[in-house]
Structure 1
Amino acid sequence: MPDTNMPPASDRDRSELPVIAHLRQLVRLTGPSGSEEDIVRAVHRVASTLADHVEVDAFGNVIAVRRAHSEGGRRLILAAHMDEVGFRVRQITPHGFLRLEKVGGTDDRILPAQRVWVRTQQSRLLGVIGTKSAHLLTEADRQRVVPSPELYVDIGARSADDAIGMGVNLGDPVGFVGVLTELGLGTGRYTAHAVDDRAGCAVLLALLERYQDSPPPVTIVFAFTVQEEVGLRGAQAIANTYEADVALALDMTAADDTPEFGPCHLQLGGGPALKVMDFSTLAHPAVRRGLSAAADAGGIALQQELLRGIGTDAGALQYTGRGIPAGAVSVANRYTHSPVEVVDERDLTGALELLHHFIQRLPDMDLRFVALDDA
């Protein structure tokens, strides 16, 4: 049976950056919050060949530890989340349609007429979120956004028994369909669903590869987390379990460089962004200083992010132990929480280099909140 979710041959055959190759594989999978099993397996498989120790905790987080070249050094937690926004099957109607319950922050405006995967115990079923045919719309229909509780998925079933016979059960996860595809020709800008935050996971896997033969100067706890989109829950488990001296989250953030907006705050291709604040955290000043110095050392363009309407795993990781310096590196992403998110490979490689330079400087980095006068 052919894989209906494989990218076109032209995309598969071209030489790719490691981070893009990892991202291509990760976005093929379906894993709304709480149903990340397929992504957990994929990340565990890759990380197991690169790290000194890999485990999956009770929550579902994948933790890969790459030890420093010498004992007794600092420890860094690097986190990216594996889950995506999506849905669960809430109801199977008598005629075989599936009603949905949201998981995470999707926008009702964009949901009708989208293709989705319904992941059953046995397989994935292709479905479409139904929408009234244009010929049947009333004027009131044209002015109305259909709320998500009224939406349904059509999997071609003729009855509830038919849908159940296909393996559908209440609670099954549902996610957008998508493969990683380059926009235009030679742009280096890619679209897919779940770029938030499979792209962050791809960067961390590429960073792990960098230290495959040469250990880093600090011990790194790579945390691929679950349930970030519903409250940073996986990262909270990490914060309660693993000790570290500093923590960074790597996540996507909302670009506003499209025609709907005026002067932009974050743009594609402008380099990774240094998080200053969001609703989950105010980045620690020592982390911000360290990331800025790392960007200068590596000649990396750096944007500044101040965005209240977003949160990252850094908001949970800052509570590690008695509290540790924490911050985040963000990558601008267009059309977030949609099936057509867009990211620029230059921003991903910039984030990779920024993390690498930060790690190289971390052994001697001043992590104090503020230097106090001894007098």
Structure 2
Amino acid sequence: MEALIKKLAEAWGPSGFEHHVRDLIRAEVQSLADDVWIDPLGNLICRIGQGDFRVMTAAHMDEIGVMISHIDRQGYARFTNIGTLFPATLLGARVRFENGVIGTIGVEHQFTKRRELPGVEGFYIDISQDIAGNADVHVGDPGAFVREVMMRGERVIGKSLDNRLGCVVQIEAMRRIAASGTPHTVFFAFTVQEEVGSRGAKPAAYGVDPHLAIALDTTATGDQPHGKQMAITLGGGAAIKARDTGLIVPAPVKNLLIQRAEEAGIPYQIEILELGATDGATIQIARSGVPTGGLAVPTRYVHTTSETADVRDIQAVIDLLTAVLSQPITL
């Protein structure tokens, strides 16, 4: 599993440009599913089983990034954000474009003399373009951050664990369900453009028309110094969502997830995320509505290049998702 985490997390795939990640995932799951297809928006959807009850799980493939908005003749590129960027994490970060060009983010000199940081408009990317304007980076090109994945004991550290960890969870659950079977028809959706408004999940759910959906993602933690008071810790187990800013989980769905965790002895925590949402927010309002829950991997420093998670929590989410999908469901 660690090799798969590294492969997916280090892959290049900002929102709207997930095709490289999708190709890697498809290579992992093609032989596991009864059917695999890509919908018009770019979601990768895999079906296992032929039961009457339809379950959809969703994990987004995309990551935060940048898009070039202007390049001057000295090779300094201005950019806009793809997804939510935190200014405090930008200075000195490296950005890679699809063609392999790497640039370094700098900040305007006036801001180095002040305590406050600017928004993205005060930063630029040094792509070392020559004076004649020759470069392989152009206005409109997307970029993603560069960082190697590292393991430190039970901890995994790297960029885009949000949400390549959710993708890993789905892949590993697919392996188990393909081997053991399911009484349901399960659709595993690897979705696009979650970081810019969960744009892929809703049409995916519309096409699948599930009776139940489970969104898979990462979630913040409350175990850092002076951190937000939140009942989620690294190593504490799978996070079962109660609510976030886009979804209040129906009680029957939340209770189902808790019941399966307790039956199997899987460690779990209850998640209330007060800032942020997942694909569940748009899945729940597809067609005439979908009862939707959420499972998450607790992750520190989300939306930075050193997101940090615990392998034991990842395993707990895999175990819990498998337990839910492998048994009959009554809501």
TM-score, with structure 2 as normaliser: 0.95
Q: Is the 8 A contact 1:31 1:173 kept in 2?
A: no
List, as ranges, runs of 4+ consecutive aligned residues in structure 1 with deviation greater than 4 Å.
Answer: 137-140
* Structure with the greater alpha carbon radius of gyration: 1
> 1:306 Cα shift?
1.1
Percent identical pairs in the alignment equals 34
Is the CA contact 1:244–1:320 (under 8 Å) kept in the aligned structure 2? no
Q: CA deviation at 1:153?
A: 1.1
1:29 CA drift (Å): 1.2
Within 2, Cα distance between the matches of 1:212 and 1:325? 24
The alignment partner of 1:113 has SS state of coil
In the alignment, is residue 283 of structure 1 matched against residue 283 of structure 2?
A: no
Contact residue 181 and residue 326 of structure 2 kept, 8 A:
no
**Which residue pairs with 1:214 in the alignment?**
180
Q: Indicate the residue corresponding to 2:148 in structure 1.
A: 179
Matches within 5 A, 1:135-284: 141-159=113-131, 161-163=133-135, 167-183=136-152, 187-261=153-227, 264-284=230-250
Query: For structure 2, which runs of at least 5 residues remain unmatched after alignment?
Result: none
Q: For residue 9 of structure 2, what is the aligned residue in structure 1?
A: 27
Match of 2:219, SS? strand
C-alpha displacement at 1:126, in angstroms? 1.6
Is the CA contact 1:115–1:176 (under 8 Å) kept in the aligned structure 2?
yes
Residues 66 and 94 (structure 1 numbering): CA distance in 2 closer, same or farther, change over 3 Å?
same
SS at match of 2:308: strand
Root-mean-square deviation (Å): 1.7
Aligned to 2:45: 63
Letter in 2 for 1:176: F
For 1:49, the equivalent position in structure 2 comes to 31
* Cα distance, 1:82–1:101 mapped onto 2, change above 3 Å: same
> C-alpha offsets along residues 308-335 of structure 1, whole Å, 9 cap, x if unaligned?
2110111111123321211101111100
**2:292 counterpart residue number:** 326
Task: Select the residue among 81, 100, 103 that pairs with 2:60.
Answer: 81
Number of residue pairs matched? 331
Separation in structure 2 between the aligned mates of residue 321 and residue 61 of structure 1, nearest angstrom: 18
Q: How does 1:273-352 map to 2 (within 5 A)?
A: 273-352=239-318
Q: Any unmatched runs of 5+ in structure 1?
A: 1-17, 368-375
1:209–1:159: structure 2 CA closer, same or farther, 3 Å change rule? farther
Deviations 1:231-279 (A, max 9, x none): 1110011122112110000100111211122754211000011110111
| 1:90 aligned to which of 63, 66, 69 | 69
Correspondent of 1:130 among 103, 106, 126 = 106
Maintained 8 Å contact 2:51/2:185 = no
Give CA-to-partner distance per residue, 1:348-375, whole Å, 9 cap, x none: 00000011111133x2x331xxxxxxxx
1:212 counterpart SS class = helix
Q: What is the aligned partner in structure 2 of residue 116 from structure 1? A: 95
Letter in 1 for 2:154: G
Give the TM-score of the pair, scaled to structure 1: 0.84
Shift of 1:173: 1.1
Question: Which range moves more in the overlay, 210-219 or 31-40?
Answer: 210-219
